[in-house]
Amino acid sequence: MDSSKSKMVIMFVLLLIKFEGGWSEGCLDHEIFALFRLKYFFNDLHDWVDDEGATDCCQWVRVECNNTTDRVIALDLSDTRNWDLGEWYLNASLFTPFQQLESLDLSWNKIAGCVENEGLERLSKLNNLKMLDLSENLFDNSILSFVGRLSSLRSLKLSYNRLEGSIDVKALETLSRLTNLKMLDLRGNLFNNSILSSLAHLSSLTSLDLSENKLEGSINVKEFDSLSNLEELDMSGNEIDNFQVPQDYGGLRKLKSLHLSRVGIRDGSKLLRSMGSFPSLNTLYLWGNNFTETMTTTTQGFPHFKSLEHLEMDDARIALNTSFLQIIGELMPSLKYLSLSYSTPGTNSIGILDQGLCSLMHMQELHIAHNDLRGSLPWCLANMTSLRILDVSSNQLTGSISSSPLIHLTSIEELRLSDNHFRIPISLEPLFNHSRLQIFDAYNNEINAEITQSPSLTPNFQLSHLSLSFGYGDGVTFPKFLYHQHDLVNVDLSHIKMNGGFPNWLLENNTRLETLSLVNDSLAGPFRLPIHSHKQLGLLDVSNNNFQGHIPVEIGDILPSLISFNISMNALNGSIPSSFGNINSLQILDLSNNQLIGEIPEHLAVGCVNLEYLTLSNNNLEGHMFTRNFNLTNLRWLQLESNHFVGEIPQSLSKCSSLEGLYLNNNSLSGKIPRWLGNLKGLKHIIMPENHLEGPIPMEFCQLYSLQLLDISDNNISGSLPSCFHLLSIEQVHLSKNMLHGQLKRGTFFNCSSLVTLDLSYNRLNGSIPNWVDGLSQLRHLILGHNNLEGEVPVQLCGLNQLQLLDLSNNNLHGHIPPCFDNTTLHESYSNSSSLKPFETSLVMESGMIYAEKQIHEIFEFTTKNIAHIYQGKVLSLLSGLDLSCNKLIGHIPPQIGNLTRIQTLNLSHNNLIGSIPSTFSNLKQIESLDLSYNKLNGKIPHQLVELNALAVFSVAYNNLSGEIPECKAQFATFNERSYEGNTFLCGLPLPICRSPATMPEASIGNERDDNLIDIDRVFRIQFDPLNPSNP
């Protein structure tokens, strides 16, 4: 009887649930309809099915249902609205159909508020709503009055909104109704200190986050007395300079976690003492502070932190001295986690750890990286038998790990030794007994060749992460322990100079392997892949080795999940496998600097739909770049330079709306520069020199507001420079060796304040150098040689205080040389030190966790030592010169030119300069090439010039100089007669020796040479200086 009654009761309950709509096969109809309405406002919900047959919304992403009733209980709508639509106002009634809703996440949606009369108070009907996340929106203080009506809330997140100041009385009254609220997140707003008293009624709070607000000054902990249940408090990132805890304070007895990172407190000792007032304190975050006050030298006055297990003081600028470590070692006996990385401002011996830390027997994680610690690891570390993670990277530690305490830390799981001076056997045999070891990170140490006393030994560990890169060992081979590893996920063995071939067995044995880097390892032979497909490998970098032969044609089938593949700087030949087109996940492909031939496979251009970086430069590829079948619409950087591509720049590239870098130099491309390039608004680099491009520079280039580097030199570009080309972002312009004509108009380059290099040489430009040139405030290299420019050298050039290189040679300039170039960085004492920094630009390839960088070198031609040199890279930051040769300049050489003490090349030849060579030239201590030939200079060559010890090329040929040349010593001993030819009255070795009048005794001539020689200089001036006919 009892059994039958029980069955009847169960049936009744089930029927009741069914009739109440609580039990259904899939979502309720009205909830499905409500979800479809949400999709209209949260328009990035692409995964939600919107056909009528898809009734089980519980299977949709971002939707969670009750396992029994299938009612929607959680909605995650974070970051599901297109931000380009701007801020908007929410209708909260959209959520009222979800009567069983417990969790609602609306974060990251640019919600500025709610529709009138449809505010968040509507959610008060949802009696089960426990969690509401409104963070990363644009709500102001008015939101507080509405959320206060949601009495069922236990968790409320309002971080990073527009909340500020204090809470008004009305909002304060409604907030006090949240009697069930456990967690409140207000970080990243603009609340001031008054917020503390406003929260006093929320006595049920266990977690409060007030970080990154406008709290300032002194904070008295008694403000939190009413929050007796508080377990976690975060006030990091505020301008708090004093955390006041009264002596014998008895509040916050349940406080377990306190965050005071990045505040303004300077007295670290006082702060640590006050922490003893919280008996339950388990976790303390003090990182990112600047504790300028000296830590106490004694433990006296410090409480015992019996419950403290977790202490983070990274980047706290404390001295890791003996007394501080004694405080930790003696008064914090329960510590399991300690992080002191980036802490010490000076150097310390690693032996200081023996003064306290080694007594922490419960320690499980110890981080002391980036502290300039020196010496070998102290043996007392072996006492930390529970240690799971040890990070001592980026110090100056030494010694062999074979004879270190590391061999006894058998509980270690993660060992980070990178960027030190440890001696590490590549066999890792000293760690073979560490059965729990999973992560071994030791790049940039000294890797020793494998010396195994017991070849039969195998490691007890199975590593997931291994890095030994930049170990400066040589002649090592692949460590044998790798043959026994099967769980590897990340491996970096780059820059070790290992011998052998590609370890395809490593991929065969480790099916979970995601990244493998073997850069610059002297590996050779064919590049052989494993037999079976490896579906986890995302990054493979084997660049800068000696692999030969073909890239395997099946690579796209064997490695179908590659995200980044780099096999550049090898000796591979053959064609590019079309199977690359099967890897639709591929984002970075670098095959540059090989000997590949043939065309770019059409299947690659069609199938690699996610490709962002394609680098095929410095090969022997040919044909047209791309056909019309082209799906590489996500390309950001395209490097095809130094190949044999022909034809026009393909129209298909116009689809690449995200293109930032286009490198097509040194090919055989022809046709006009496409106007549609101006529509690719993200372009930063356009580099296409050494082709056969023709026609004008498109006016559309004036719309490329992100353009930093434009190089179309050495082509057949004609027409005039666009007057609208004055981009504020432009840093380098190289247009040399073309057929450009016309004048430098005011609009062209006007006020390009970021421009560093302007090279317009070897064109047909005419007119004068514009006076507005001094508006190019960052210009370092101005190269206008080999044009038809006329007029005077404008004094405004002296306003370019960053100027390092000026070439105005081979023009029709006239007038005098401005005397003011010593206002620029050509003068060593010029105060702007930024001019010494090399100009650098780089190609950064970043995709998820994959990062790579390539330097893009600026390049141009400049004549020095009578030879036209190509300069590129960092050497440009060291090059300094002035070339005004082959013009029609007149007058004297300004003596101020001798103040250009940083100059290396000075060429004033082939002008009409008169007067003497300034004796100030003896100040040009760095000059290597000095050419004053083919002028009308007279007088003597200053004997002080023999002090120019760097001078390699010197010419004063074909002037009217006279007298004895400088003494034949130092660099002047290397100059032959060609340096002086065309000066009839010069004498002295290597020219004929100087002779005095015949009546003078020979001995007197030697003793009184300077006083008694005929003043040929004066006679020469009287006879041949037509500008001064009245000279006596």
Domain ranges across the chain: 8-162, 756-992
- Would the CATH topology of 8-162 be identical to that of 756-992? yes
User: Which residues is 547 bridged to in the sheet?
Assistant: 525
* Residue 145 pLDDT grade (very low, low, confident, very high; cuts 50, 70, 90): confident
Least confident of 265-279, 448-462, 821-835, 887-901: 821-835
Question: Can you give the three-state secondary structure of 224-258, one letter per residue?
Answer: HCCCCCCCEEECCCCEEEEEECCCCCCCCCCCCEE
Query: Which residues touch 352 (CB under 8 Å, ≥6 apart)?
Result: 320, 321, 322, 325
Residue of higher predicted confidence among 50 and 356: 356
- Please compute the mean of the pLDDT values over residues 484-499 and round it to a whole number: 92
Q: What CA–CA distance (Å, rounded) separates 665 from 530?
A: 37
- The sign of the torsion formed by the CA atoms of 377, 380, 385, 391 equals negative
Least confident of 428-437, 513-522, 872-881: 872-881
Task: At 813, list the tokens.
Answer: 């300039």
- Please compute the mean of the pLDDT values over residues 1014-1025 and round it to a whole number: 31
Query: Residue 109: its pLDDT value, please?
Result: 94
DSSP state of 531: S
Residue 964 has pLDDT above 80, yes or no: yes
Q: Where are the alpha helices (DSSP H) in 510-575?
A: 555-558
**Cβ proximity of 460 and 436 under 8 Å:** no
Query: Residue 454: its pLDDT value, please?
Result: 61
Percentage above 70 pLDDT, the chain: 85
> 756-992: what fold?
3.80.10
Percentage above 90 pLDDT, the chain: 61
Task: At 571, list the tokens.
Answer: 């000796």
User: Which residues is 711 bridged to in the sheet?
Assistant: 687, 734
3-class DSSP state for residue 604?
Answer: helix
Query: Which residues touch 920 (CB under 8 Å, ≥6 apart)?
Result: 895, 896, 897, 898, 899
Q: Identify the top-confidence range among 83-87, 671-675, 750-754.
A: 671-675
**Cβ proximity of 352 and 376 under 8 Å:** no
- Please compute the mean of the pLDDT values over residues 584-602 and round it to a whole number: 96
Query: Residue 860: its pLDDT value, please?
Result: 53
Single-letter code of the amino acid located at 598: G
* Residue 390 pLDDT grade (very low, low, confident, very high; cuts 50, 70, 90): very high
DSSP state of 477: B
Residue of higher predicted confidence among 360 and 518: 518
Residue 212 has pLDDT above 80, yes or no: yes
Query: Residue 1010: its pLDDT value, please?
Result: 39
Least confident of 97-101, 177-181, 471-475, 496-500: 471-475
Query: Residue 250: its pLDDT value, please?
Result: 86
Dihedrals phi, psi of 274, to nearest 5 degrees: -70, -20
Residue 312 has pLDDT above 60, yes or no: yes
- Please compute the mean of the pLDDT values over residues 912-917 and round it to a whole number: 96
Dihedrals phi, psi of 972, to nearest 5 degrees: -70, -15
Among residues 480, 474, 482, the alpha carbon closest in space to that of 499 is found at 474
Q: Identify the top-confidence range among 124-138, 241-255, 302-316.
A: 124-138
Query: Residue 509: its pLDDT value, please?
Result: 95
Query: Residue 1005: its pLDDT value, please?
Result: 36
Query: Residue 294: its pLDDT value, please?
Result: 54
Query: Residue 149: its pLDDT value, please?
Result: 87
Q: What share of the chain is helix, strand, coil (3-state, %, to 5)?
A: 20, 25, 55
Half-sphere exposure of 167 (CA within 13 A, CB side): 21
* Residue 369 pLDDT grade (very low, low, confident, very high; cuts 50, 70, 90): very high
* Residue 564 pLDDT grade (very low, low, confident, very high; cuts 50, 70, 90): very high
For residue 995, the tally of other CB atoms under 10 A from its CB is 11
| 63-65 vs 72-76, strand pairing mode | antiparallel
Q: What CA–CA distance (Å, rounded) separates 200 from 498?
A: 65
Query: Residue 300: its pLDDT value, please?
Result: 66
Task: Read off the pLDDT of residues 986-1005 as tens digits, 9 standing for 90 and up.
Answer: 999 899 988 865 433 333 33
Cα–Cα–Cα angle for 464, 467, 470, rounded to 5 degrees: 170
CATH number of 8-162: 3.80.10.10
Dihedrals phi, psi of 405, to nearest 5 degrees: -65, -10
Q: How far, rounded to the nearest angstrom, does the alpha carbon of residue 581 sit from its chain's CA centroid? A: 30
pTM: 0.82
Query: Residue 345: its pLDDT value, please?
Result: 62
3-class DSSP state for residue 98?
Answer: coil
* Residue 102 pLDDT grade (very low, low, confident, very high; cuts 50, 70, 90): very high
Q: How far, rounded to the nearest angstrom, does the alpha carbon of residue 329 sit from its chain's CA centroid? A: 39
3-class DSSP state for residue 323?
Answer: helix
Residue 18 has pLDDT above 60, yes or no: no
Query: Residue 207: its pLDDT value, please?
Result: 96
For residue 698, the tally of other CB atoms under 10 A from its CB is 17
* Residue 326 pLDDT grade (very low, low, confident, very high; cuts 50, 70, 90): confident
Among residues 426, 514, 536, 518, the alpha carbon closest in space to that of 475 is found at 426
Residue of higher predicted confidence among 718 and 52: 718
- Please compute the mean of the pLDDT values over residues 322-344 and round it to a whole number: 84
Q: If you average pLDDT over every residue of the chain, what do you get?
A: 85
Query: Residue 249: its pLDDT value, please?
Result: 86
**Cβ proximity of 458 and 483 under 8 Å:** no
- Please compute the mean of the pLDDT values over residues 630-654 and round it to a whole number: 96
* Residue 827 pLDDT grade (very low, low, confident, very high; cuts 50, 70, 90): confident
Residue 295 has pLDDT above 60, yes or no: no
* Residue 927 pLDDT grade (very low, low, confident, very high; cuts 50, 70, 90): very high
- Please compute the mean of the pLDDT values over residues 43-64 and round it to a whole number: 75
Least confident of 235-244, 397-406, 670-679, 874-883: 874-883
Among residues 51, 50, 141, 157, the alpha carbon closest in space to that of 103 is found at 157
Query: Residue 890: its pLDDT value, please?
Result: 96
Residue 291 has pLDDT above 90, yes or no: no
Dihedrals phi, psi of 1018, to nearest 5 degrees: -70, -45
- The sign of the torsion formed by the CA atoms of 35, 36, 37, 41 equals positive
- Please compute the mean of the pLDDT values over residues 758-770 and round it to a whole number: 95
Tally of residues, the chain:
1032
